[in-house]
Amino acid sequence: MNQPISITALASISALGSKPKEIWENYLLDKHFLSEKEISSQGRNDKKSVFVGQLSKENKQKINELRKSDSKYKNLDDTVLFAIYVSRKAIKNANWNSEKNFGINFGSSRGATALFEKYHQEFLETQKSSTLSSPTTTLGNISSWVAHDLQTSGPEISHSITCSTALHSLLNGVAWISSGMADKFLVGGSEAVLTNFTIAQMQALKVYAKHHSELVSESHTIEKYPCKSFDVNKKQNTMVLGEGASAICLEKGLIKNALAFISGIGYATEVLKHNTSISTNAICFQKSMKMALGEINPNGIDAIVMHAPGTIKGDLSEVNAIEKVFENHQPFLTTNKWKLGHTFGASGMLNLELAILMLQHQQVIEVPFAKKQKHPAKIKKVLVNAVGFGGNAVSILLSK
C-alpha cells in the first residue's frame, strides 16, 4: 500500500445485534444465535426446520420502520434496506453527515434475493411481471439507493463476488483512495438470503447443517452448536445461513481516534476443478495472506479471523493454508459463523468487525468446540480472511 488508510467508523446489523456494546457482549457469551426456522419443502406441502441466523424482533422492527419511512422504500428488498440502515449509522459515527463527496461501494452475493424469487414465482404463475420487478432486483440498486438516501455526489459501485464481496468492496475503496481519486469511501456488504430457494440450493450442495434431531455426535448426544465452523474434526458439513449487513468508513491518512488502520491487502484466485472447489491447502488463501503481509514478519500477527464456513473442506483447507504461511508461529484463530451464520456477501465485513472489536477490547474470542489456543499477550495486528465460489480469496491486515 502506498499510503495509510484509516477505518473511522463501522456499523452492522446481524443476529448478534446492531449496537457495538450489544454485539461485543454477545460475542463473550458461550452460545450461538442461530434459531430454527420453518421452511416449506421444495415442491411439497410438508414443512421442515432448519437453523438460520436471523435478526432479532427488535432489529426487524427497525428495518420495517425504515421501509415505512419513505413511500419509495416500501418496494425495496431487505438487502437494500439493510445496506441503507448500516450506511446511515456508519456516516453518523464518522461525522460525515455534512460530507457529500465520498464514494460508495456496496456489494452483495445474491442481491435482492427475496424480491427476485417472489417476482419470478409470480411470472411462472401468471406469465406476467410486476412493473417494479426489474428496477428493484438489479444488483446496482443497492449502492444507488444508499447514495440516494445519503445524497452523496461521489462514485457509487455495486458488485457481486460471492462470499468475498464485502472485502472486495474494501479493496475498491482502498484503490480509489490510493489513486488520489477520492479521500473517503463508504464500503460494505449486505445479504438477506433466508429464503426457501436459497436454503434449498445450499442443501442441494449437501453443505447445510442438519436439523437438531439429526445433529448427533459419535457419542449419540445432540450437538450444542449447529454450525461447527472451525471444527476440523467434524464428520459432516454444518453451514448455516445468516442475514445481515456491515459498512465501514475509509479515510485517507492516519486519522486520530480511528478504529483501526489498514496495514495490508491481499487477493488471489486459484484454478478450479469444479464450480465450488477449493484446493486442499487453499492456494488462493496462501497467496492472499502473503500479499497482505508484504514485508511484515508473520510472527507479528496476533490473530486471524477466518472465513471458516462450517464445511469440512472449507474449514480444513483454510487451516492448512494458515499452517503453510505461518509455519511454526500460528496466530490465534477464530471465526464468527458458529454464532451468526454465513451471511454470504456480507460475511467478510462482519469478520472485519470482529477483528476491530478484538483490537479495541484487547481480547480474543474463542470458538468453544475448537482446540484450545494460547491467547496473545497483546493484540496489535489481526488478519481477516474471506473467500467465495470461484476460489477468490481476500485477506485484510488491520493494525491499531
The pLDDT tens digits of the residues spanning 160-170 come to 999 999 999 99
Q: Shortest CA distance to 34 belongs to which of 291, 211, 293, 235?
A: 211
pLDDT of 118 higher than 80: yes
Mean pLDDT, to the nearest integer, of 262-277? 78
Mean pLDDT, to the nearest integer, of 95-124? 94
Under the banding of pLDDT at 50, 70 and 90, the label for residue 220 is very low
Give the model's pLDDT for residue 183. Answer: 95
Average pLDDT, the chain: 92
Give the model's pLDDT for residue 40. Answer: 74
Give the model's pLDDT for residue 110. Answer: 94
Question: Which residue would you say has higher pLDDT here, 270 or 122?
Answer: 122
| Burial environment of residue 220 by CB neighbours within 10 A (0 to 12, 13 to 18, 19 or more) | exposed
Under the banding of pLDDT at 50, 70 and 90, the label for residue 97 is confident
pLDDT of 213 higher than 70: no
Is 261-399 in CATH node 1.20.840.10? no
pLDDT of 281 higher than 90: no
pLDDT of 61 higher than 50: yes
Among 3.40.50.2000, 3.10.450.50, 3.40.47.10, 3.40.50.300, name the CATH number for the domain at 5-252. 3.40.47.10
Give the model's pLDDT for residue 28. Answer: 97
Give the model's pLDDT for residue 275. Answer: 47
**What is the reported pTM?**
0.95
Q: Shortest CA distance to 391 belongs to which of 268, 245, 214, 225?
A: 268
Between 347-361 and 20-28, two packed helices, what is the crossing angle to 10 degrees? 80
Question: Which residue would you say has higher pLDDT here, 109 or 45?
Answer: 109
Give the model's pLDDT for residue 380. Answer: 98
Give the model's pLDDT for residue 291. Answer: 97
Under the banding of pLDDT at 50, 70 and 90, the label for residue 389 is confident
Question: Which residue would you say has higher pLDDT here, 274 or 71?
Answer: 71
Bridge partner residues of 106 (DSSP): 158, 188
107, 191 Cβ separation under 8 angstroms: no
Mean pLDDT, to the nearest integer, of 30-46? 78
Residues of the chain with CATH 3.40.47.10: 5-252, 261-399
Give the model's pLDDT for residue 272. Answer: 63
Retrieve residue 114's grid coordinates.
Answer: 427475496
Give the model's pLDDT for residue 211. Answer: 73
Mean pLDDT, to the nearest integer, of 220-235? 84
Mean pLDDT, to the nearest integer, of 365-380? 96
| Burial environment of residue 240 by CB neighbours within 10 A (0 to 12, 13 to 18, 19 or more) | buried
Under the banding of pLDDT at 50, 70 and 90, the label for residue 214 is low
